[in-house]
Amino acid sequence: MTTADFEAFVSHHGPALKRFAYVLCGDRGHAEDLVQEALVKTYRHWSRVTRLQRPEAYVRRIIVNDRHSWWRKRSNNEVPVPGIRDVAAPGDLSDGLGDRDAMWAALAGLPTRQRSVLVLRHYEQLEDAEIAELLQCSRSTVRSLAARGATRLRTALSMDHAVAEGTTRGRDA
Amino acid sequence: MSSSFDDLLEATLHDAAASAPPRATDVRWVVGESRRRTRRRRVAGAAGVLVVALALFLVVPQWSGLSGERLQPAEGAQFVAVNDAPFRWTRPTVVGVPGGFFVWGVTGVGRMSSDSVRLPPPGEVHAALLDTRTGAWREVAAGPLGSRFGVSGSLVDGEVVLVGGATSQTSQDRRTEVAAFSLAEESWRMLPPLPEGRNRAQSVEAGGRLVVAGGGTATGRNESAVLVLETGGWRQLDVGHPVDAVLSSSVGVLLMGVGYGDNVTKVVETSLLDPGSGGLQRLARVPVSQKLLHFALGTARDATPLLGLADEEDGNLYELAFGTGGYAWEPVLTDVEGLQAALGGEDMQPTVGGFLTSAADGWLAVTGDKIHHIRVNGMSGQVVTQGGTKGGAECRISVTEFQGKALFLPDEYCDAPGGPKLLDTSGG
């Protein structure tokens, strides 16, 4: 265990962790805070973390847990406002960009746990069992949160039934 | 619009992630801050740790060791002292008996696995009685059953009757044996065997008769047969629809069978059945929006039957209404938000490990990590908790209510410390 190892870890995984934190919370500043805090906690146990098969998964779990804690600590009258991204995404996004903006705004309105499950499923591509372990809940909880989150998104987007039909997919490992 | 919702969601997330070029992390600050925090912790010193430990010991509720500090008993109910169980059973059968609870099941199974290469060892069967007045346990003879799992239990005329089951959690060896444990004599006797081996059935006493329904048989699950034990053997009744899940005998001598809701029909069928005459009355269907996970059935103090449903999207409560058109299930609470609001639990997951059991003055709803009352009587079951996992198996706490007391019994797969909890809902 050396500081150099930790620096190499942060250098390699830091950007991905920040992107993950960003899609999780939707706010760049909070994302950086979340990652920074998670790394501080990780370094404290670095000797043990390095023995893990996937140390980045450990950091990711801290980020998710801290995100939920942070959410609970917010004052009740502080309402997240869906923001418009100010940096253009790479590639030709003229097709469907409006949909994605609407989806991003709708994601901002989801309860924290529902958003976390959807992000872990659709961004991190985790299986339900992995999500359940990460969130320390049962797989049925994950399925329930995902279903309810998707329903709220669909409602927000006013998607037609044909599109909505494609949303439920079995991920029960 | 995108071609599918999933594609749109994934594209949105990746698009957003790509649009947020991260700034470099100041690793030196992170390391320094981590070391500063470590130093501060050490300064706190051993004395501080002892003070905190003592405070935690004094203020943390007894229940917290079982499955999370957020568990709270319902209003008017309170946990009462009960000794640790002499065994840590795996998926036990729990039956309420006068003055206590009877627990039967296998211990020492270890890892549960569906992997045929690593079948769990057979384990040993143990039985014990809990006296709820003293909180003490007493081991009793485990009896002659060859089953280890999926055994149904009920109280019939002073005897605990255990029915069917299987020799392992993955076994196709479903058993036909039926055995009765006399609470007065503390001895076992065999009753006529089932016509066919039946695993994870439901059994209930109705009108002085033992009735068995549901469960799995060698010929397939969700059979429509309901079995009534009579002198000389079992009589088979056909309710005409699949039978799975819960039974209640609390409506006079009538048995209420609740059918099976699947992904195709998305309904729950219900019937009233008189086990004495074999008379059957079909009731209204209950719509279910998703695959059904949990449901429960009971009767309020005013004898109104109530049906609780928990599926993947809804946590619903229905009341059986008697109208000119016959019976109909009328929704009492029909959505997650409504149920959450009614029960006041923002963190509650009514559909997750959702479980409804009875209490003397109400319906005991164990929903995720909270306990609440609604008003119904007469149910029991299990709840999957966040009490941890062991060897990949989910911790399950069986919840059984009898005469106003609910026993929460963690099984062998619960890592969390703490033994059984007894919730007194009688208010006295």
Q: What is the DSSP string of B85-126?
A: PS--EEEEEEEEETTEEEEEEEE---S--S-GGGPPP--EEE
Helix axis angle for A3-25 and B5-18, nearest 10°, is 130
- Residues of A whose CB is below 8 A from B386: 136-138
CA distance linking residue B369 with residue B362, whole number of Å: 19
Task: Give the per-residue pLDDT at B73.
Answer: 52
Question: Given CA atoms A5, A6, A9, A10 in this order, what sign does their dihedral have?
Answer: negative
Binding-face residues of A in 125-154 toward B, CB within 8 A: 136-138, 140-141, 143-145, 147-148, 150-151, 153-154
| Contact in structure between B76 and B427 (CB atoms under 8 Å) | yes
| Contact in structure between A152 and A106 (CB atoms under 8 Å) | yes
Region B124-132: mean pLDDT is: 94
Asked if the Cβ–Cβ distance from A103 to B353 is below 8 Å, we say no
- Residues of B whose CB is below 8 A from A7: 27
For A7, the closest chain B residue by CA position comes to: B27
Which amino acid does the sequence have at B292?
L
CA distance linking residue A69 with residue A72, whole number of Å: 5
pLDDT interval class at A22 (50, 70, 90): confident
Question: Given CA atoms B191, B196, B197, B203 in this order, what sign does their dihedral have?
Answer: negative
- Residues of B whose CB is below 8 A from A44: 34, 37-38
B47 vs B248, higher pLDDT: B47
Asked if the Cβ–Cβ distance from B5 to A150 is below 8 Å, we say yes
Stated pTM of the model: 0.53
B354 vs B319, higher pLDDT: B319
Instruction: Flag whether residue B16 sits within 8 Å of chain A, measured between CB atoms.
Output: yes
pLDDT interval class at B272 (50, 70, 90): low
Place of tokens 């500081």: A3
* Chain A interface mutation, best of B1, B13, B346, highest count of A Cβ atoms under 10 Å: B13
Asked if the Cβ–Cβ distance from B17 to A90 is below 8 Å, we say no
- Residues of B whose CB is below 8 A from A141: 349, 352-353, 368
A163 vs A132, higher pLDDT: A132
pLDDT interval class at B331 (50, 70, 90): low
pLDDT per position as a tens digit, B197-211: 888 887 888 777 888
Q: Which residues contact B63 (CB under 8 A, 6 or more apart)?
A: B71, B72, B73, B79, B418, B421
Task: Give the per-residue pLDDT at B187.
Answer: 96
pLDDT interval class at B125 (50, 70, 90): very high
Task: Give the per-residue pLDDT at B186.
Answer: 95
Question: What is the rounded average pLDDT for all residues in chain B?
Answer: 66
Asked if the Cβ–Cβ distance from A32 to B20 is below 8 Å, we say no
Q: Which residues contact A156 (CB under 8 A, 6 or more apart)?
A: A102, A105, A106, A109
* Chain A interface mutation, best of B19, B309, B313, highest count of A Cβ atoms under 10 Å: B19
What are the backbone dihedrals phi and psi of residue B38, each rounded to the nearest 5 degrees, phi first?
Answer: -60, -40
Instruction: Flag whether residue A15 sits within 8 Å of chain B, measured between CB atoms.
Output: yes
Asked if the Cβ–Cβ distance from B15 to A15 is below 8 Å, we say no
List the single residue in A23, A137, A166 with the smallest CB-CB distance to B4: A166
Region A90-104: mean pLDDT is: 60
- Residues of B whose CB is below 8 A from A89: 15-16, 18-19
- Residues of B whose CB is below 8 A from A153: 5, 9
Taking the CA of residue A77 and the nearest CA in chain B, the distance in Å comes to: 16
Region B278-296: mean pLDDT is: 55
ipTM for this model: 0.74
First to last CA, chain A: 34
| Contact in structure between B318 and B309 (CB atoms under 8 Å) | yes
Asked if the Cβ–Cβ distance from B16 to A85 is below 8 Å, we say yes
Binding-face residues of A in 45-84 toward B, CB within 8 A: none
* Partners of residue B299 on adjacent β-strands: B305, B377
- Residues of B whose CB is below 8 A from A115: none
Asked if the Cβ–Cβ distance from B312 to A140 is below 8 Å, we say yes
Task: Give the per-residue pLDDT at B75.
Answer: 54
**Averaging pLDDT over each range in A104-118, B50-64, B174-188, which range is the top one?**
B174-188
Asked if the Cβ–Cβ distance from B353 to A148 is below 8 Å, we say no
- Structure tokens that stand for B140 in this block: 């009793």
Give how far Cα B61 sits from Cα of B17, B66, B67, B79, Å.
42, 10, 11, 10
Write the burial class of residue B410 (CB in 10 Å: 0-12 exposed, 13-18 middle, 19+ buried): buried
CA distance linking residue A23 with residue A20, whole number of Å: 5
